[in-house]
Chain A
């Protein structure tokens, strides 16, 4: 028994101890407990890493008081969230206000069920896995609306409207860029998609990110994922300086923590899908490293993507609403459609240098043209600073 399959083996052993009729139930409970445990602890680690990283980018320390180097900060935050008073506005719609955080958290954990985190390590391998992922993702929009509307607060309603408009706009390029991979594999099953990216050509793995359409698709997917998870620079729904915290302005204590958790788990889930679709899932990047357990590769890639998210958050300023919408509909959507076409051409051309050149031209030509034309209409000039005199 190898280290790679140790968790699968352990689960089989535990399930084997149980009487026959409750084996499926025990198996399901074990998978669910593993998903919730692992990703919730990853959430705790990510919050402290993010605050540390942002601190470093902004030339300050970040949390450094609780435990060595501040690594126990999440525990302190958790206790604080639990013992805080749970305030509900008097005018609020009590019931909707109460269930909104639950409606947000439950689907994002469900979405993780179809993400393969290692060899034979997926909670449900279903025929329509990718479709399932996007279907449960649709419920988060609903939760955001419920939170914003039930609070009876202008700012939270504004934040919810912004969030829904943003999520709907960016869901289109997100799904269209994922469709290229589905077209290429010919299956919606996440396990089959990972299997299709096994093997190595030269020293490069056969991941879809190393094809012209896959590269463009990956970039589009990650930008849309960033917008879907309301991360800076797409954090207009929260916009502390404009609408003070958006749809969760009236949430305090543990309900606020649930929103926070839901947002991060959503980010992990969509990054996990990005890894599955474009970065070869749990496959090792080099052939001589295949002995390293598969789940280490998956979580390594996940942490790398999260580091990218944190880096972007620390680097870019927030977009304006019109910039956000223009970017989604005038740039992301046409690029995603062109990319779909390029993927089709790639599928029907014989392998070789010509195919590479044609598809790269199909992707990067329109990219350059689209970028140029959009910029020309902008009349961008050097910014003039005016100071009080």
Chain B
């Protein structure tokens, strides 16, 4: 475990904790962006250049901005009065621990951990593009269709109701 990894990991986890505990929603959104940047840094450290930059471009550039807009347009910027932990926090904790246990058990028993990994060469953007256009073209199309449907749905919801005027 290198020093770089330790710094990035601490930054990512700390900002993720901040997302859940800070009072002000906008502060939470800003820490969430820091978490995304930390994840991107992890990808870059793994030599996955394309994934890392796409993570920044999509999550910091679009998703986080969308979250911020949603916060500002739907409620006031004043921090809420109620407690940080809701009344059902213990139940939530139990569910979270259960999910984590199942995931950890599955990952721990998977054969991937014991497989001897070839030291992989750096994957170029060209190779990713070729794979997306040949082998994974169907999933790509499905994702595109899903996003288009979501886009049209959002427009229909936001469209001004002509009859109800």
A residues engaging B (CB < 8 A)? 96, 126-128, 131-132, 134-139, 141-142, 145-146, 149, 157, 161, 164, 168, 171, 186-188
> Does B65 sit at the interface, judged by CB under 8 A?
yes
A168–B65 CB distance below 8 A = yes
Q: Could you list 7 A-B pairs, sorted by A, with CB under 8 Å?
A: A96-B30, A128-B125, A135-B56, A135-B61, A138-B56, A149-B77, A168-B65
Number of A-B contacts defined by CB within 8 Å: 63
With A134-B57, A135-B57, A138-B56 given, is the CB distance from A188 to B125 under 8 Å? yes
With A131-B54, A149-B26 given, is the CB distance from A138 to B49 under 8 Å? no
**Distance to closest chain A CB from B93 (angstroms):** 30
Q: Which residues of A contact B126 (CB under 8 A)?
A: 186-187
> Does B143 sit at the interface, judged by CB under 8 A?
no
Which of B30, B56, B77, B122 is the one whose CB lies under 8 Å from A146?
Answer: B30
A127–B122 CB distance below 8 A = yes
With an 8 Å Cβ cutoff, the count of chain B residues facing the other chain is 23
B residues engaging A (CB < 8 A)? 26-27, 30, 33, 49-50, 53-54, 56-57, 60-62, 64-65, 68-69, 72, 77, 122, 124-126
Q: Give chain B's interface secondary structure class.
A: helix
Q: Which B residue's beta carbon lies closest to that of A134?
A: B57
**Distance to closest chain A CB from B85 (angstroms):** 24
B68–A145 CB distance below 8 A = yes
Among B27, B53, B56: residue with most chain A CB under 10 A? B53
| A171 to B65 Cα, complex, angstroms | 13
Q: Which residues of B contact A137 (CB under 8 A)?
A: 61
Among B54, B65, B124: residue with most chain A CB under 10 A? B65
Q: Give chain A's interface secondary structure class.
A: helix
Q: Which residues of B contact A128 (CB under 8 A)?
A: 49-50, 53, 125
| A96 to B24 Cα, complex, angstroms | 12
Q: Which A residue's beta carbon lies closest to that of B123?
A: A127
| A246 to B60 Cα, complex, angstroms | 22
Extra contacts besides A126-B49, A136-B56 (13): CB < 8 Å: A127-B49, A127-B124, A128-B50, A131-B125, A138-B60, A138-B61, A141-B65, A142-B30, A142-B64, A142-B65, A145-B68, A149-B68, A171-B61
